[in-house]
Structure 1
Amino acid sequence: MTNDANEELLEIQEIDESQEEEEDIDTKGNKKSIFWLVSIFSSTSTFFFGNFFSAFAAEAGVSGSVMGFITSIRNLLSSLFQGFIGLLSDKIGRKFVMFGGILLNFAITIPLIFFEQTWLLITVAIVQALSISFFVPAWNATQGDVTKPEIRATFIGKLASIGRLVSVSFSLTIAILFYLADEVYYGQEILGWTVNIPWRTQYSIAFAIAAINSLITAILILTMKETKTEDAEKKKLQMRAAFKVRSFMIFVAFYSLFGLSMSFIWPINPIMQVNVLGMEFYQIAINSSIFLIVMSVTQFVTGKLGDKIGRKPLFLFGAFVLVFYPVSNLPSLYLGDWRWQILGNFVAGFGTGTFFVALNALTLDLASNELMGTFSGVREMFWGIATFVGSLSSGFLLDFLEIRYGLLMTTIAMCIGVSAFRLLTAVGFIFVAESLPKNERVNRLIHKNHKNNSLDS
Structure 2
Amino acid sequence: MSEEIEEPALIPSKALYGTGVAGTFSDSIAHRYLSLLAVAVGVTVSQMSYLRAAESLSRNILQLLWGRLVDRKGKRIFIAIGRFLNGIIVASLVFVEAPVWVMLLMIGVAICWSIITPAWSSLLGDYTTYSSRGAVIGRISALSQTGSLGAMIVAFTISLNQVGETTPESFKLLLALSAVMSIVSGILSLFIEEKPSNQEGRELDLRIVFRDLRLRRYLIVNVVYGIAMSFAWPLFPFIIVDKLSLKIWQVAAYSVFSAASSMFSQRYSGKLMDRIGRRPVVVFSRIIMAVSPLFYVVATDWTHVAMSEIIMGFGMGAWMSSGPTYIIDLAPVEMRATYLAANTAVFGVATFMGNLLGGYVTDNFLAVGGALQGINMGLMISAGLRFLTGLLFFLIHETYPTSKREPSAQ
Higher mean C-alpha displacement, 125-134 vs 158-167: 158-167
Q: State the alpha-carbon separation in 1 of the partners of residues 13 and 312 from structure 2.
A: 30
Q: Aligned with 1:254: secondary structure?
A: helix
- Which range moved further: 372-381 or 202-211? 202-211
Q: Residues 97 and 168 of structure 2 are in contact (CA less than 8 Å); yes or no, is this contact kept in structure 1?
A: no
Specify the alignment match of 2:83 in structure 1.
102
CA contact (8 A) 2:367 2:374 kept: no
Q: Does 1:210 align with 2:174?
A: no
Deviation readout 1:54-103 (Å, 9 max, x if unpaired): 01111112100111111111111100021221111111111212222111
Q: In structure 2, which of residues 268, 276, 291 is the aligned counterpart of residue 309 of structure 1? A: 276
User: Equivalences for 1:30-109 in 2 at 5 Å?
Assistant: 32-109=13-90
Contact 1:75–1:387 (CA<8 Å) still a contact in 2?
A: yes
Structure 1 position 138 matched with structure 2 position 101: no
In structure 2, what is the Cα distance between the partners aligned to 1:264 and 1:241? 31
Q: Does 1:406 align with 2:370?
A: yes
Q: Percent identity?
A: 24
Which residue identity does 2:342 align to in structure 1? V
**What secondary structure sits across from 1:122 in the alignment?**
helix
Q: Which residue is equivalent to 2:220?
A: 253
Alignment of 1:283 with 2:264, yes or no, is no
Which residue does 1:12 correspond to in 2? none
Residue 16 of structure 2 aligns to which amino acid in structure 1?
A: F
Determine the structure 2 residue equivalent to 1:165. 146
DSSP 3-state at the match of 1:325: helix
Distance 1:172 1:401 in 2: 40
> Quick one: structure 1 residues 237 and 389, their matched pair in 2 at CA, closer, same or farther if it must change by over 3 Å?
closer
Q: Does 1:229 align with 2:199?
A: no
CA positional deviation for 1:43: 0.6
Q: Secondary structure at the match of 1:162?
A: helix
Amino acid of the structure 2 residue aligned with 1:242: V
Q: 1:245 to 1:45 in 2, by over 3 A?
A: same
The corresponding residue for 2:318 is 354
The structure-2 alpha-carbon separation of the partners of 1:284 and 1:250, relative to structure 1 and needing over 3 Å to count, comes to same
Measure, in 2, the Cα distance between the counterparts of 1:248 and 1:49: 31
Farther off after superposition, 157-166 or 65-74: 157-166
Whether the 8 Å contact between 1:44 and 1:210 is mirrored in structure 2 is: yes
**Structure 1, residues 23-48: CA drift from partner, whole Å, max 9, x if none?**
96414xxx611111111011111101
- How far does the alpha carbon of each residue in 1:89-148 deviate from its partner, in whole angstroms, 9 at most, with x for none? 111111212222111111111121121111111211221111111110011000112211
Structure 1 regions of 5+ residues with no counterpart? 1-22, 187-195, 450-457
> Does 1:200 pair with 2:159?
no
Instruction: Specify the code of the residue in structure 2 equivalent to 1:389.
Output: M
Structure 1 pair 128–230 and aligned structure 2 pair: CA distance change class (3 A): closer
Q: Distance in 2 between matches of 1:82 and 1:145?
A: 19
Contact 1:328 1:344 in 2 (8 A): yes
The separation in 2 between residues aligned to 1:197 and 1:312, in whole angstroms, is: 45
Give me the whole-angstrom Cα distance separating, in 2, the residues matched to 1:234 and 1:124: 34
Distance (Å, rounded) in 1 between the aligned partners of 2:113 and 2:346:
15
Query: Of the candidates 375, 396, 399, which is equivalent to residue 435 of structure 1?
Result: 399
1:366 — aligned with what?
Answer: 330
Deviates more, 1:64-73 or 1:280-289: 280-289
1:271: which partner in 2?
238
User: 1:26 is matched with which residue?
Assistant: 10
Counterpart Cα distance in 1 of 2:166 and 2:286: 39
- Equivalent runs, 1:167-182 vs 2, <5 Å: 167-179=148-160, 181-182=161-162
**Maintained 8 Å contact 1:73/1:125:** no
> Which residue number in structure 2 is paired with residue 13 of structure 1?
none
Query: Residue 261 of structure 2 contacts residue 314 of structure 2 at CA under 8 Å; is this kept in 1?
Result: yes
Shift of 1:202: 2.7
Report SS of the residue matched to 1:434: coil
- Is contact 1:237–1:371 with CA below 8 Å preserved after alignment? no
- The TM-score, its normalising length taken from structure 1, stands at 0.84
For residues 386-405 of structure 1, the aligned pairs below 5 Å read 386-401=350-365, 403-405=367-369
Structure 1 segment 370-381 matched on structure 2, within 5 A: 370-381=334-345
Q: Which amino acid aligns with 1:354?
A: A
Aligned length: 404
Q: Which amino acid aligns with 2:246?
A: M
Structure 1 Cα separation of the partners of residues 229 and 81 of structure 2: 29
Write the distance in 2 (CA, Å) between the matches of 1:391 and 1:90.
30
TM-score normalised by structure 2 residue count = 0.93
Whether the 8 Å CA contact 1:106–1:212 is kept in 2: the answer is: yes
In structure 1, distance between residues paired with 2:236 and 2:195: 39
Task: For structure 2, list consecutive stretches of 5 or more residues without a partner in the other structure.
Answer: 1-6
Using the alignment, how far apart are the partners of 1:177 and 1:89 within structure 2?
Answer: 38
Kindly provide the CA deviation profile for residues 224-259 of structure 1, in whole angstroms up to 9, marking residues without a partner as x. Answer: 34x233544486663332111100110011012111
Q: How has the CA–CA distance of structure 1 residues 198 and 314 changed in structure 2, closer, same or farther, with 3 Å as cutoff?
A: closer
Describe the shift of the 1:78–1:88 C-alpha distance in structure 2 as closer, same or farther (beyond 3 A): same
Match of 1:238 in 2: 205
The verdict on how the C-alpha distance between 1:234 and 1:395 changes in structure 2, with shifts beyond 3 A counting, is closer
